[in-house]
Structure 1
């Protein structure tokens, strides 16, 4: 392999690290640590499945852009365009993505505030407003790339701290391997399983990933995607392993104490700074992704009416941002909200995945050589079916809980 090819591969890994960084946020730390704390290694299989699903679905979304020059939202809008410009499918997906981003946003801001409060005794309401105002200022000026790079580096430090701690805990290799390879859903774990899927295969990341693939070569895109997302999945597993040391029940202070006991007091600061960085960077990414998804799915990517400085584009990201600020000001507990936000997006994922799968078999769009092969269709089919099954199980569990409350 020549030097130029090596450099291109490294750049692709860095490029796709954006996707990995996007799902290593407060949602991943909270959901994975809670899963480890409550169920040990029993839900590790959900992380393995989610990581593979993320790679497969992101590759498909990126392949659309590489082969056609159109982003995922634009391709879906063109494929399902109806009479008089009415596109119910694209509108439904846009609404779902916006709702999903709004749910994530609540967890993002609550996670950022929780990180600050690990080291500073300040009003959560004040911190929420300050974080929300900071995110709004960066989104309004378009100065998001440089701050996202800095915060991403801080998140990476936190991720390494979790991995090193997980290794030093010396988990039972047999139990961990069993948890990874034998799927089971213990009683009371349905929401957490959905959360593990939703926090790894982030629906809005499919639209971001499609945009990132512009200008890439197919082989290099796949190489970078596998290594970056695979690394993110490994960090998530590390968080789950550390969570098993909590012995039941999750509190950020206890999580920091486990890191500190193994790595020194600096590790507790790493958790605090990492939680804030992950939450604040995601508090920028989620509203921006919602606006991009709506622009490509409903508004069309071209034209000044949907430029990044247009009132329509800003209205979308501002609405998502205000939703998250509202949750923070309301004084709700961060951990339950963060886990429920991941679970909600786990329910949303099958909707996006089904239409992505159908689009990947459109020969008019992708040509004979771009559509899914039999193997790719089989793999995507298994992923979509599993996501649908988990989603239906989650809905049934929610319905039972609601009926129990009504009956009681």
Structure 2
């Protein structure tokens, strides 16, 4: 049991991306497009494994975070300043949006748990739920002693994930349609959903967070095989859960999803009337877990970019995550439908990914940093392919938003 609960950094990454955004975006993908976007999720999982393995390898070899390594590569103050400004702005925008999605998802679960008659709730119009989630996350982050509770929340998320896997089997999907969903389709109608699926799986701040925290567990290059295994296993398991959620979403007959009660319809064949509460507990726990990792990721980025020699309890480090947490609570309390906020957060991350991925790919080819542990030509080929695909999807997503204004 002790070995089972010895959670590695890979599980941190998975716990971060299996949040309310993943549940919501994958459910909506299944509701709106059936199995047709499973191929996009496979692409997302491959991209996540490749990029996170690079981040973990960088952290183990250099014992530094991604932002610290990037900063050290530019002697020109102007270029370094532009680079730092670009990274900070990208992470702050993405994490603020992502945090709003985390808090909104947790608030959806909390509101449904406390208000059993929540069927008429179209958005989080009462700020108390978002504020409550923010206060819980604040307390856990401030005292720095949240490991026991976080592991409990991860167990709750795993229980919810198991429910989706079971329901995916119980729905008895048409296997011919299911396998057809792994054939790529870049039609205009689903492009933003594809970007959202990538954004909810390959989260830019996770690259920084992963590179920073692996050095706390592994101190030698001899540990690289263990770090790689930890990354691959954790992310693939998370990807399987996301696939199960899409399959579950495809079984939902509702055409419009506005609240936790609507999302819960996919669980009714297994849990009956209790479906709403099972999903709400999962959304709440996923929201809290992800609401912790997003501010931490931003704080690690700022720490590396500005060269702080700080720890988790330092005033400067706390100031960063407090700011991100405040923005998340603020944006989630504006009266906008929570589903809309969550979707926007995932799309924003999908658009930011090419920038961060390009920086990472460049660093992983610097022999003076990694020595013999630089990328192989195969890793570079896969990395460039991922970068091209994410750029293509990102530009198409932006173009669609512009023409629809």
Structure 2 length-normalised TM: 0.91
**Partner of 2:376 in structure 1?**
373
Correspondence for 1:57: 51
SS of residue paired to 1:372: coil
Q: Is the 8 A contact 1:81 1:87 kept in 2?
A: no
Structure 2 CA distance for aligned equivalents of residues 343 and 19 of structure 1: 18
The 1-side partners of 2:373 and 2:330 are apart by: 44
Residue pair 2:209, 2:296 contacting (<8 A) in 1 also: no
Contact conserved, 2:212 with 2:300, CA < 8 A, in 1?
no
- The farther-off stretch of 149-158 and 327-336 is 327-336
Question: Root-mean-square deviation (CA), in Å?
Answer: 2.0
Give how far 1:328 is off: 2.8
- CA contact 2:71–2:80 (8 Å) conserved in 1: no
Aligned position for 2:121: none
- Extract unaligned runs of 5+ from structure 1: 1-6, 403-408
What secondary structure does 2:181 align onto?
helix
Asked if structure 1 preserves the Cα contact closer than 8 Å seen for 2:252 and 2:265, the reply is no
Where does residue 404 of structure 2 map in the other structure? 401
Question: Is 1:328 aligned to 2:329, yes or no?
Answer: no
Is the CA contact 1:161–1:267 (under 8 Å) kept in the aligned structure 2? Answer: no
CA distance in 1, matches of 2:237, 2:78: 45
Instruction: Please state how far the C-alpha of 1:308 moved relative to its aligned partner.
Output: 2.9
After superposition, what is the alpha-carbon deviation per residue over 1:236-255, rounded to whole angstroms, capped at 9, x for unaligned?
A: 00000110111332242133
Whether the 8 Å CA contact 2:107–2:129 is kept in 1: the answer is yes
Secondary structure (helix, strand or coil) at the match of 2:249 reads: helix
Name the CA distance, whole Å, in 2 between partners of 1:103 and 1:399. Answer: 19
In structure 1, C-alpha distance between the alignment counterparts of 2:168 and 2:229, rounded to whole Å: 27
- Does the 8 Å CA contact 2:113/2:277 hold for their aligned counterparts? yes
1:4 match = none
Shift of the alpha carbon at 1:301? 4.5
380-389 vs 282-291, greater mean Cα deviation: 282-291
Rounded to whole Å, the distance in 2 between the matches of 1:333 and 1:290 is 25
The reply on whether 1:42 has 2:36 as its aligned counterpart is yes
Contact persistence 1:12–1:223 (CA under 8 A): no
Output the CA distance in 2 between the equivalents of 1:392 and 1:27.
Answer: 21
Q: 1:268 aligns with which of 266, 276, 280?
A: 276
Counterpart pick for 1:364 among 362, 368, 374 = 368
Q: 1:352 aligned to 2:356? A: yes
Q: Look up the match of 1:387.
A: 390
Conservation of the 8 A alpha-carbon contact between 1:157 and 1:270: no
Does the Cα contact within 8 Å between 1:26 and 1:279 map onto a contact in 2? yes
The worse-fitting range, judged by mean Cα deviation, of 326-335 and 353-362 is 326-335
CA positional deviation for 1:86 = 4.1
Residue of structure 2 in register with 1:148 after alignment: 150
- Cα shift at 1:146: 2.4
Rounded to whole Å, the distance in 2 between the matches of 1:38 and 1:382 is 28
CA apart distance, 1:278: 0.6
Extract unaligned runs of 5+ from structure 2. 119-124
Q: TM (normalized to structure 1)?
A: 0.90
